Structures are given as C-alpha cells and as structure tokens.
Amino acid sequence: MSVTLAPVLGFILSNTPPPEFNPDTVTPGPWGFFAILFVAVVTLLLGMDLARRIRRTTYRAEMRERLQAEVAERDAAAAEQKKSDTP
C-alpha cells in the first residue's frame, strides 16, 4: 500500500508550485456552450412532453372511471325499474 501512495504523498508534501496553464485551452469555448445549451433545451422539452403525457393519462383514467360509474348507475336504475315492474 505504501508503494502506491508514495508518489501521491511525495507530490503533496513537496513545495513545487502548481503547474501553469493557458486559460484558453481549459475553457469549453462556444462549442461547449452550445452543446450544454442543446442538452438543456432537449431536457426541458422532454420534461414538458412527459408532463403532458402524464396529464393526458390521468384525464383518461378519470373519464374511464366516470363512464363506468354512469354505466353502473344506469344498470342499477334499470334493475330497480325491472324489480318494481314485476308483480
């Protein structure tokens, strides 16, 4: 274990200055900006589509329940009518 940590500890404990870098080579530039913008817009559009689909599914389930309740009510009324018509 000490063999693998030796270079890391040597770097941390040494008094070497941090390496200098060119900020132009480190920044993402305009292509990076447009790539992140594209990902953000696509994510936003997918989220909106997901919300629309979930809302539509919920409305369909509510309408299905209402129709089933109406059919059950109609069948119950017909059964009650039939029961009252028979002597």
18-74 pLDDT, tens digit each: 667 776 777 788 999 999 999 999 999 999 999 999 999 999 999 999 999 999 999
d(CA 57, CA 59): 5
Confidence class for position 87, pLDDT limits 50, 70, 90: low
Sequence-separated (6 or more) residues with CB below 8 Å from residue 35: 28
Q: 86 or 55: whose pLDDT is higher?
A: 55
Confidence class for position 84, pLDDT limits 50, 70, 90: confident
The per-residue DSSP string of the chain comes to -HHHHHHHHHHHHS-PPPPP--HHHHS-HHHHHHHHHHHHHHHHHHHHHHHHHHHHHHHHHHHHHHHHHHHHHHHHHHHHHHHHH--
